[in-house]
């Protein structure tokens, strides 16, 4: 799982008899929700990061650099067939909005700025109210 963060693929690799993606998805989600499994996955991710000598601060610093570069006006390069290289064109500049937006999105996600809010509607019936209803029905049945 820690190789590519694909829980379904990892589950099917371990449980070779599982052929259904739906089953693998449900079971892998259940496994990842287990506190012991989640702790082990975090431990493995930390080991990988240490071996790669990369920290969250390094990634964030690089993302900020990418964002800054993408938001700068950079000269448009054109191919010069005489020199067989790219050269600056006639003072035209471009803005790489896709690169800047991607870097900003990753930075925002890292900082927890884009938490998805889910609005739930409808009533929730508690187990206690169900028990009370059953008890009431039994009392009525005994009285008859």
In a domain, 125, yes or no: no
Domain co-membership, 112 together with 59: yes
For the chain, helix (H) and strand (E) counts, in that order, are 6, 2
Domain co-membership, 68 together with 113: yes
In a domain, 4, yes or no: yes
45: left (phi over 0), alpha (psi -120 to 50) or beta: alpha
Domain co-membership, 69 together with 47: no
Domain co-membership, 34 together with 74: no
In a domain, 142, yes or no: no
The total number of structural domains in the chain stands at 2
Token pair recorded at residue 92: 């035209």
Domain co-membership, 7 together with 28: yes
Token pair recorded at residue 10: 């990892």
In a domain, 41, yes or no: yes
In a domain, 75, yes or no: yes
* Measured distance CA(13)–CA(8) in Å, rounded: 9
Report pTM. 0.43
Domain co-membership, 65 together with 96: yes
Domain co-membership, 72 together with 31: no
In a domain, 59, yes or no: yes
Domain co-membership, 94 together with 110: yes
In a domain, 76, yes or no: yes
- Neighbouring C-beta atoms of residue 24, cutoff 10 Å: 20
* Measured distance CA(76)–CA(93) in Å, rounded: 6
Domain co-membership, 34 together with 9: yes
144 residues of the chain, pLDDT tens digit each: 887 888 999 999 999 999 899 999 999 999 999 999 999 988 888 888 788 777 778 878 888 888 877 777 666 677 888 888 888 777 556 667 788 788 878 877 766 666 677 776 766 666 777 777 778 888 777 776
Rg, Å, the chain Cα set: 28
On the 0-12 / 13-18 / 19+ scale of CB atoms within 10 A, 19 is: exposed
Domain co-membership, 59 together with 49: no
Name the residue range of residue 38's domain: 1-53
Q: Pseudo-torsion of CA 69, 71, 72, 78, nearest 10°? A: 80
In a domain, 87, yes or no: yes
């Amino acid at each position: 799982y820690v190789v590519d963060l694909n829980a379904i693929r990892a589950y099917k690799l371990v449980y070779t008899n599982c052929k259904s993606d739906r089953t693998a998805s449900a079971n892998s989600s259940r496994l990842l929700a287990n506190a012991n499994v989640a702790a082990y996955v975090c431990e493995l991710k930390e080991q990988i990061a240490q071996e790669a000598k990369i920290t969250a601060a390094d990634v964030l610093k690089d993302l900020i650099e990418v964002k800054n570069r993408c938001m700068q006006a950079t000269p448009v390069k054109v191919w010069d067939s005489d020199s067989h290289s790219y050269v600056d064109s006639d003072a035209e500049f471009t803005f790489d909005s896709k690169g800047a937006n991607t870097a900003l999105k990753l930075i925002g996600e890292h900082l927890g700025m884009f938490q998805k809010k889910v609005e739930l509607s409808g009533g929730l019936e508690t187990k206690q109210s169900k028990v009370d209803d059953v008890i009431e029905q039994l009392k009525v049945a005994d009285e008859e």
